[in-house]
Amino acid sequence: MRIEGLAIICAVRGHGEHGAVVRALTPDNGLLAGYVRGGRSRRLRPVLMPGNLVHAEYRARTAEQLAGLTVELTHSRAPLFAEPLPAAAIDWACGLTATALAEGLAHPRLFVALDGVLGAVEAAPSARGWAASLARYELLLLAELGFGLDLRRCAVTGAEDDLAYVSPRSGKAVGRAAGGGHVDRLFRLPPFLRDGGAAGWDEVFDALAITGHFLARDILVDRKADILAARARLIHRLRRAAE
């Protein structure tokens, strides 16, 4: 087995005295794990950081064997780890990807979207410039794994206009009138999550509440504690930034 091309570093775990097992997202082969010899060395530690874009080459004698991996840095996002909020965003986005995806299944849209989110974190002068794209990435990941939300029509009436809520049970949109007396049991649906466009802080937090609920319920069921703690740290820092 030999696979070569661009990859986004998503997770790194020390292995043995000097090596590291790296999980990276590739555009055509999905999430792949590989062993990097000397991965904990001073030379490679700055390369093997979540969010970095690398040229990766995987080699293995059989499909069942953990591949040997060599990497060459293409674009570094390591400087972002000097700032707590960008660092938290990268940790969560890459950690979620590494935790949620099965290895070897192609998700080209997720590769493009993750690279876009990381690029937005890097380029935006404030968190408000990228927080909405992070929520949309979570929504896309849910859809890619078969848990997509239906935000196009009301679950009660079938109408496609004046959609204001999301059911936490079905993941379907609910119209303003149909929500009636059940508003306290529904999520508020921010328009950008369905239609794109700009979002204020209240809308961002509404969106993250929706995606966080379904990620915890449907994707991270047996792997909640560590990865959701990273998300909680990110949300806390986003709320402080919004004050």
Residue 232: Cβ within 10 Å count = 13
Of all residues in the chain, what percent carry a pLDDT higher than 90? Answer: 85
pLDDT digits (tens, 9 = 90+) for 14-39: 887 889 999 999 999 999 999 999 99
Alpha-carbon span 188 to 165, nearest angstrom: 4
The tokens describing 124, both together, are: 């935006």
**Continuous H helices in the chain:** 84-100, 108-123, 131-144, 176-179, 191-195, 201-214, 224-242
With 80 as the cut, is the pLDDT of residue 200 above it? yes
pLDDT given for residue 124 in this prediction: 87
Q: How confident is the model at residue 64 (pLDDT cuts 50, 70, 90)?
A: confident
The tokens describing 102, both together, are: 């099965």
What average pLDDT does the chain have?
Answer: 94
Q: How confident is the model at residue 138 (pLDDT cuts 50, 70, 90)?
A: very high
Query: Rounded to two decimals, what is the model's pTM?
Result: 0.94
Range from 136-145, 201-210, 225-234 carrying the lowest mean pLDDT: 225-234
CA atoms within 13 A on the CB side of 162: 9
The tokens describing 242, both together, are: 């919004």
pLDDT digits (tens, 9 = 90+) for 80-127: 999 999 999 999 999 999 999 999 999 999 999 999 999 999 998 789
User: Region 2-8: what's the mean pLDDT?
Assistant: 97
Alpha-carbon span 119 to 226, nearest angstrom: 25
Domains of the chain from N-terminus onward: 1-76 (2.40.50.140), 81-151+189-243 (no CATH)
pLDDT given for residue 226 in this prediction: 80
With 90 as the cut, is the pLDDT of residue 53 above it? yes
Residue 172: Cβ within 10 Å count = 17
pLDDT given for residue 236 in this prediction: 96
pLDDT given for residue 224 in this prediction: 65
Contact 84, 226 (CB under 8 A): no
pLDDT digits (tens, 9 = 90+) for 168-185: 999 999 999 998 888 999
